Structure 1
Amino acid sequence: MQHIYQPLLIRSLVDAGGSATIRQLALAFLGQDESQIVFYERKIKEMPLKVLRRHGVVASHGELVELTAGRLSFEEKTQIRMLCDRKLQEYMLKRGLGIWEYRMLETEPVPGSLRNRVLAESGGRCALCGATNKDRPLDVDHIKPRSKGGKNEYANLQVLCSRCNRAKGNKEDTDYRPLVREEAVPGCPFCFEAIESRIVEAYDSVVAIPDGFPVTAGHLLVITKRHTPDWFSMSQAERNDADSLLRILRNRLSEDDRSITGFNIGMNAGASAGQTVFHVHIHLIPRRDGDTEHPRGGVRGVIPGKMGY
């Protein structure tokens, strides 16, 4: 990276008139970091834009975002700025730099040669979901976090995409390297190759397919790409992806079929709990008024006689 940093530093000093503080130089570097810009473009689309659009505060047309309030007076602009600044200050006083912790995972960089070795041996893929740098930025992640004494050494490094790394944070010390790219288990009906043609939606480490024996119309299964037996063996990133995909599917089903008035979400873990395929799969079952005579009790119905409590 010295081939980028050195000329960028010199150019930034020239642009600043010959001298600048470290802070000013860091801001200049940030403005040239396309990965950071892309990260925040995605972050804006994933959360604040969706929320504010849903509440009618903003509207978006392609890449253009605008306030729905129309033309604002000077007084209105001043008041809005004051309210927004107050909210920001209150939260920053409460959390401090912790609000940016997910962007401060590394304060002592991994040596370049070591980073290149880990990236090369990963095949350019995330060790959990298999994403490449064409999908999102790849991070060289410490398996045991630095905050817990993890070292900048080969045995403690793995490659995770930015999404999986953010989901993992600095609390887990899971080594995902033995998990990724596992061969499909022979005879498993839910391993990726067996269900590839039936996939209706995918979200990083999980996919969705129609249930082969649906309880109701629209019954779907959310399945991990990685072969793992049940919910308790899923990684946190896989659980996060499954939760996101369930929400996406729920919204889509509700929009497409207005007769849907509820959902059951469930999974079986172990033969005694009714599991017959030992590759984790989460049921999303749409429910409609009148689809059963006595719906009260819901999932308690897994044991006959226990539902109508």
Structure 2
Amino acid sequence: MIIYIEDGRNSVMAEAKRKSKARIEQSVLLPPATEPNGLIDRDTWIEETSSGFISKSPSNRFIYRVILETLWPKDHGIPGPIVDREEIRKAVDIAKGKTYIDTFRRLRELQGEEGLLGIVKQGNQYQLIDLNVYPKKTPRTHLSDEKWSRILIHYGNKCAVCGAAPGEKGFQQDHKVPRSRGGTDAITNWQPLCDSCNNIKSTSCRSCTEDCSKCGWSYPEFYRPVKVPGSVLRMLHEYADSNHIDADEWVTALILNNIPNQ
């Protein structure tokens, strides 16, 4: 269950503590090899891997290469160095000559569509541990202006999750059911998300094994988050703690007991 906490000025999205059978597995970072191992030339691998990118966007292909060069710097072996998120962002900004906002979308595409599963993440740190290029996915489809306009009209030109109005750069085009979970490019599998909801959904979906058809991120029209003032949420947890009960189970029982089944 996803709950909004309201502080009177801003609405901050928080994910309520819940019991789940899903186990989020963290990738394991390995001790870096500080010296080249001699089995494969770094520049040759980057050149061959870059020439095999399936993205049709020259800009995206350029960013992919910058990320790989950052994760495998010259005179270093594999496993590569453990690289902080901000180091990657800075390298891309320098290469572009300006602030680039989609760095980590490009990185996820490298791990997904481009088959570089050897890029692992733990917290805010990344590492290239495996040089294999695994089977690539079908490149991400970009909606036509006509289809995107129809989707925006369907959602009343608001974020599908939080209902926010579009920002300066509009909404993110989001697959309701992620492509990694079997989602398609059908027009019914798209929704507009604000930057905040899109970022939180991306984090929430990572390694999730729950049923997308019952997820508030995939189908907010059926499972829309409930806005609860922060003060009320705090009262709930204080009551649950003092009575030694599970807040999630207590709220669920309360709702089921007071809303008749339709």
TM range (shorter): 0.3 to 0.5
Over alpha carbons, which structure has the higher Rg?
1
The TM-score normalised by the length of structure 2 is 0.35
The TM-score normalised by the length of structure 1 is 0.30
Task: With a CA cutoff of 8 Å and minimum separation of 6, indicate the structure with the bigger relative contact order.
Answer: 2
